[in-house]
Copies of this chain bind each other. A is one copy, B any other.
């Protein structure tokens, strides 16, 4: 038998998969701090729009770049949110935010170009770069810097083969945001070195007051080199719908069209009509969601503060806490396994997000207050046993 694509060997998540597939993962008494989606159902008004589109027979192919009404709605929303004027030609609808990332990487770095990505960071970056035939180059995020990218770390890794810098704010798995001053430094580096930037803002509508979301795309000189990727999954509790989008200079449309036409064709037609309705919900919808998510964040923050043997950066966005469990003396995979097996608490080992995630766990607080409370109890209990006093 001939060999498969050797890029598939660039990463190995078999241990992690084994963990996720384990018997104990399916126990009904589990509290799930692992999951990357909110427990809210999709708002009824969006569901109704989808059903209406189905009833109107919108079951045929859509244009490759997206339904015109969705592109227009997104252009208007992004113009408002970023203080720039976007047209529908700068919006490209994709089947989810993950696919949006892959399309950009494949278009820009598929010649072996180097792509800088955060470690720890979203687990898809490395596989996407490898599968897109780019060259992965990680940059460190460390607790002593608040898990913020250090401009010097980026600068030192740039070569004449560097094509792309991936930024992720709010961050999965850290739950922090990149401050404006750092974005300004990073913008200067991108401009000086003529590199493109992917700004992965899948969680941009989940930033907790007094913090505010800011994006590198809004900085002078950056709009023409920034590829903003986003998703309906987290903003509107639409994970199962698979709708994302790219905001990019329209000069790249031909490249995206070529990739998209021949790898995906188009995105579900009636789902796009529903997504356009979601965009029209406007800011009031985010405010309501944020209100609920803020109580959850405050609860977990308070609860974790009471466990004096662990530490974590201040949660500012998304719905994750990145918990330092180094005093257990165990690997993050070992701690996650013990939490699951002995305490029925699901967490994600930090090593799933890169080797520099070792020593941490990602906790998701996207579930209701009772469950968070119970999960915190189990965690407290576990840490008392795992960390020698």
Interface set of A (CB-CB < 8 Å, partner B): 1-8, 11, 13-14, 17, 37, 41-42, 47, 50-51, 54-55, 57-62, 95-96, 98-99, 102, 106-111, 113, 123-124, 127-128, 131, 133, 163, 194-196, 237-242, 252, 254-255, 257-259, 261-271
Given contacts A51-B54, A269-B240, contact A4 B255 (CB under 8 A): yes
Work out how many copies of this chain go into the complex.
2
Write out the residue numbers on chain B whose beta carbons fall within 8 Å of the beta carbon of A59.
Answer: 41-42, 47, 237-241
Given contacts A3-B111, A95-B264, A242-B264, contact A37 B61 (CB under 8 A): yes
Min CB gap A272→B, angstroms? 9
Write out the residue numbers on chain B whose beta carbons fall within 8 Å of the beta carbon of A111.
Answer: 3, 5-7
Write out the residue numbers on chain B whose beta carbons fall within 8 Å of the beta carbon of A7.
Answer: 110-111
Chain B: CB-nearest residue to A259: B131
Write out the residue numbers on chain B whose beta carbons fall within 8 Å of the beta carbon of A238.
Answer: 59
Chain B: CB-nearest residue to A241: B268
Chain B: CB-nearest residue to A122: B262
Q: How far is the CA of A138 from the CA of B221 in the complex (A)?
A: 44
Q: How far is the CA of A238 from the CA of B268 in the complex (A)?
A: 10
Asked if B2 contacts A196 (CB within 8 A), the reply is: yes
Chain B: CB-nearest residue to A270: B240
Please pick, from B5, B41, B60, B124, the residue contacting A57 in the complex, using a CB distance under 8 A.
B41
Chain B: CB-nearest residue to A103: B263
Residue among A62, A96, A108 having the largest count of chain B Cβ atoms under 10 Å: A96
Write out the residue numbers on chain B whose beta carbons fall within 8 Å of the beta carbon of A269.
Answer: 240-241
Residue among A13, A110, A113 having the largest count of chain B Cβ atoms under 10 Å: A110
Write out the residue numbers on chain B whose beta carbons fall within 8 Å of the beta carbon of A270.
Answer: 240
Write out the residue numbers on chain B whose beta carbons fall within 8 Å of the beta carbon of A241.
Answer: 59, 268-269
Write out the residue numbers on chain B whose beta carbons fall within 8 Å of the beta carbon of A107.
Answer: 4-5, 8
Q: How far is the CA of A6 from the CA of B109 in the complex (A)?
A: 9
Given contacts A107-B8, A108-B5, A242-B95, contact A262 B60 (CB under 8 A): no
Write out the residue numbers on chain B whose beta carbons fall within 8 Å of the beta carbon of A102.
Answer: 262-264
Write out the residue numbers on chain B whose beta carbons fall within 8 Å of the beta carbon of A1.
Answer: 194
Asked if A8 contacts B255 (CB within 8 A), the reply is: yes
Please pick, from B3, B62, B131, B261, the residue contacting A262 in the complex, using a CB distance under 8 A.
B131
Chain B: CB-nearest residue to A231: B265
Return 14 A-B CB contacts under 8 Å, by A number: A5-B111, A41-B59, A47-B54, A59-B241, A95-B242, A98-B264, A99-B263, A106-B131, A127-B261, A127-B262, A128-B262, A131-B262, A131-B263, A268-B268
Please pick, from B3, B13, B240, the residue contacting A58 in the complex, using a CB distance under 8 A.
B240
**Further contacts, 16 of them, CB under 8 A, given A7-B110, A96-B265, A99-B264:** A2-B113, A2-B163, A3-B111, A5-B110, A7-B111, A8-B259, A58-B240, A59-B237, A59-B239, A59-B240, A98-B263, A99-B265, A106-B131, A127-B262, A131-B262, A268-B271
Min CB gap A17→B, angstroms? 8
Chain B: CB-nearest residue to A268: B242
Please pick, from B37, B110, B113, B264, the residue contacting A60 in the complex, using a CB distance under 8 A.
B37
Q: How far is the CA of A265 from the CA of B232 in the complex (A)?
A: 14
Q: How far is the CA of A229 from the CA of B158 in the complex (A)?
A: 41
Write out the residue numbers on chain B whose beta carbons fall within 8 Å of the beta carbon of A6.
Answer: 110-111
Q: How far is the CA of A105 from the CA of B4 in the complex (A)?
A: 10
Write out the residue numbers on chain B whose beta carbons fall within 8 Å of the beta carbon of A267.
Answer: 242
